[in-house]
């Protein structure tokens, strides 16, 4: 975790998160009309990404159990697992920074199914930031559905 890669910082319900820039396929700002609500299945939302019906993970629901209102313009971070894209719905992209600062490994004793996607905690300019791993954001059911699509 001491390399010189870049992290994109973003916010979700007042919490600051980071993801490796190399994990991003695209940062998209789309109108709410482009999001479709899904009934049944593991994902609540989908959108058209480059001609493909792509699942969307509402990070606000994942972080604190409160869904993001699907109105106006929405910010999505498009990532992939096994060459299959999915999007993270976030509140706001903040900035891109070099991986630096004080790094704390996320303690295994605090790890749960709900927070398993947190790789590390950074202290950047007196702000606590949780680095997430795109590959671990999805739960087992979501991952199976993504791979089956």
pLDDT at 4: 63
pTM of the predicted structure, to 2 decimals: 0.89
Number of Cα atoms under 13 Å in the Cβ half of residue 108: 0
Secondary element (H or E) of residue 139: none
Joined together, the tokens standing for residue 148 give: 């089956």
Residue 3's pLDDT band, with cuts at 50, 70 and 90, is low
Query: Model confidence over 49-92: pLDDT tens digits?
Result: 999 999 999 999 988 889 899 999 999 999 999 899 999 999 99
């Amino acid at each position: 975790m001491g390399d010189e890669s870049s992290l994109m910082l973003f916010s979700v319900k007042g919490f600051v998160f980071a993801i490796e820039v190399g994990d991003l396929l695209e940062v998209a700002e789309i109108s709410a009309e482009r999001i479709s609500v899904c009934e049944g299945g593991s994902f609540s939302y989908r959108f058209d990404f480059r001609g493909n019906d792509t699942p969307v993970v509402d990070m606000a629901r994942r972080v604190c159990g409160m869904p993001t209102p699907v109105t106006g313009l929405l910010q999505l971070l498009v990532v992939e697992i096994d060459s299959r894209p999915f999007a993270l719905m976030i509140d706001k992209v903040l900035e891109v920074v070099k991986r630096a600062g004080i790094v704390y490994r996320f303690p295994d004793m605090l790890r749960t199914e709900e927070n398993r996607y947190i790789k590390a905690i950074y202290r950047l300019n007196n702000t606590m930031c949780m680095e997430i791993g795109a590959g671990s954001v999805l739960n087992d059911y979501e991952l199976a559905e993504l791979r089956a699509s």
